[in-house]
């Protein structure tokens, strides 16, 4: 297991290197730079600014410099949010995105699993149809529709939760984003859970367990659920990475200073270092969560062994 872990961690390095390299050059291929704007800057002044940020160097040199700094844990300065370095921005934004993303995933996993299991146990009955309807509703309605509806009902009309902003970081600011961000995930988890639970319940070992006279609780929770939850776990890994590193739409609509907003603002403003930092961070989180999923697989399913 230790060797497997070590090997997996080692293979992550070239993956990360490739992601960084491709992203860096792709970004510099895009026309326009961070200092092109509606009000053009006189060329001499622009040269000064580019010199300050080393943008006057050839792209390959900028790339090597970026790699060198990255290897030393320096994500560089933001070209647009000039008061901050990219690392400082992440120190502020990542906990906010992670907080919302984590609770959205917990909300989705807990409620989605429960709903999926109930639907599977009551297959083709009214409760199953209700769960399918909720899942369809959650996965088809885009968040840019559900979020404004939520804001109007709970923010403007009822004034129960804030319409937007992070304010003092109190939980009431996070409720809306958590629910709206978690809703599509809940739908997916419920569908996955329902499908795999139905499959699991019809498996031979479950029939054997029932034949042996095990209680229904033991059959469902100890035997059926354990196998059925595997697809949900493998889905949850990358989904968690995505949620924790911020949702662009949710953070924009709810005006939350999270990582997702930096990514889109950074891309539009050609804030190279900020975009690169976000790419690196998302890649790292994806690798970590995939790795955790693999480990969890081994824990949950005794058939899966790596040694």
Partner 1 sequence: MKTFKSQLIICAAAMALMAGAAQAGGTWNRGENSDIQSLDPHKTSTVEEHNILVDLFTGLIMPDASATASPGAAESWTVSPDGKVYTFKLRKDDMWSDGTPVKASDFVFSWRRLLDPATGAEYASMAFPILNAEDINGGKKKGEELGVKAIDDTTLEVTLKGPTPYFLEMLTHHAMFPVSEANVTKFGNDFVKPGNLVSNGAFTLAENVPGDHTKLVKNPKFFDAASVQLDAVNYIPTEDRAAGLKRYKAGEVDYMDDFPGEQLDEMKKDLGDQVHMTPELGTYYYIFKAQKAPWNNVELRNAISMVIDRDQLAEKVWKNSMLPGWSLVPPGVKGYTTVTMDYSTMSQLDREDAAKKVFDKLGISPEHPQKVEIRYNTSENHKNTAVAIQEMLKPWGFDVTFVTTDGKTHYSYLEQKGDFDIARAGWIADFKDPVTFLNLGHTGDGNNYGEYSSKEYDALLDQASTEADPAKRMDELSKAEAILIKDQPLLPLLTYANHNLVSPKLHGYVDNVMDVHPSRFVSKD
Closest CA to 189 of 146, 249, 234: 234
- Cα–Cα distance for residue pair 209/153, rounded to 1 Å: 49
Give the binding-site size for partner 1 (rule: CB under 8 A): 54
- Cα–Cα distance for residue pair 301/295, rounded to 1 Å: 10
Any contact of residue 256 with partner 1 (CB under 8 A)? yes
- Cα–Cα distance for residue pair 274/282, rounded to 1 Å: 12
CB nearer to partner 1: pick between 51 and 207: 51
Answer positive or negative: Cα dihedral of 90, 95, 99, 102.
positive
Any contact of residue 58 with partner 1 (CB under 8 A)? no
Residue at token pair 């939520």: 150
Here's the x/- map for partner 1, 224-253, by CB under 8 A: it reads as ----------------------------xx
Any contact of residue 37 with partner 1 (CB under 8 A)? yes
Return the HEC string of 237-285. HHHHHHHHCCCHHHHHHCCCCCHHHHHHHHHHCCCHHHHHHHHHHHHHH
Any contact of residue 39 with partner 1 (CB under 8 A)? yes
Any contact of residue 40 with partner 1 (CB under 8 A)? yes
Using CB under 8 A as the binding rule, the residues of this chain from 76 to 115 that contact partner 1 are 80-84, 89, 92-93
CB nearer to partner 1: pick between 49 and 288: 49
Half-sphere exposure of 279 (CA within 13 A, CB side): 22
Any contact of residue 65 with partner 1 (CB under 8 A)? no
> Quick one: which segment of 2-10, 44-52, 101-109, 183-191 binds partner 1 (CB under 8 A)?
44-52
Any contact of residue 262 with partner 1 (CB under 8 A)? yes
Binding-site ranges for partner 1 (CB under 8 A): 30-45, 48-49, 51-53, 80-84, 89, 92-93, 148, 151-152, 155-156, 159, 162-167, 252-258, 261-262, 265, 268-270
């Amino acid at each position: 297991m230790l060797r497997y872990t070590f090997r997996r961690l080692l293979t992550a390095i070239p993956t990360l290197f490739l992601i960084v390299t491709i992203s860096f050059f792709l970004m510099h291929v895009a026309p326009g730079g961070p200092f092109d704007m509606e009000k053009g800057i006189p060329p001499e002044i622009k040269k000064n600014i580019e010199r300050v940020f080393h943008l006057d160097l050839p792209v390959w040199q900028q790339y090597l410099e970026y790699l060198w700094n990255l290897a030393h844990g320096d994500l560089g300065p933001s070209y647009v949010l000039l008061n901050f370095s990219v690392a400082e921005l992440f120190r502020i934004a990542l906990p906010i995105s992670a907080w919302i993303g984590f609770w959205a995933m917990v909300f989705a996993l807990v409620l989605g699993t429960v709903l999926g299991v109930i639907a599977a146990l009551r297959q083709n009955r009214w409760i199953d149809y209700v769960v399918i309807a909720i899942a369809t509703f959650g996965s088809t309605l885009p968040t840019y529709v559900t979020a404004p509806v939520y804001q109007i009902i709970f923010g403007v009309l009822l004034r129960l939760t804030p319409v937007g902003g992070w304010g003092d970081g109190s939980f009431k600011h996070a409720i809306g984003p958590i629910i709206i961000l978690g809703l599509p995930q809940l739908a997916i988890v419920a569908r996955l859970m329902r499908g795999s639970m139905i499959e699991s319940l019809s498996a031979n070992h479950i029939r054997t367990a029932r034949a042996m006279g095990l209680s229904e609780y033991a059959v469902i929770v100890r035997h059926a659920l354990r196998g059925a939850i595997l697809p949900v776990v493998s889905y949850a890994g990358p989904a968690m990475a995505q949620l924790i590193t911020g949702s662009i739409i949710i953070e924009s609509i709810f005006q939350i200073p999270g990582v997702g907003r930096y990514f889109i603002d950074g891309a539009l403003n050609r804030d190279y270092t900020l975009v690169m930092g976000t790419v690196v961070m998302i890649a790292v989180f994806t690798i970590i969560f995939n790795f955790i999923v693999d480990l969890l697989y081994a824990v949950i399913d005794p058939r899966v062994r790596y040694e």
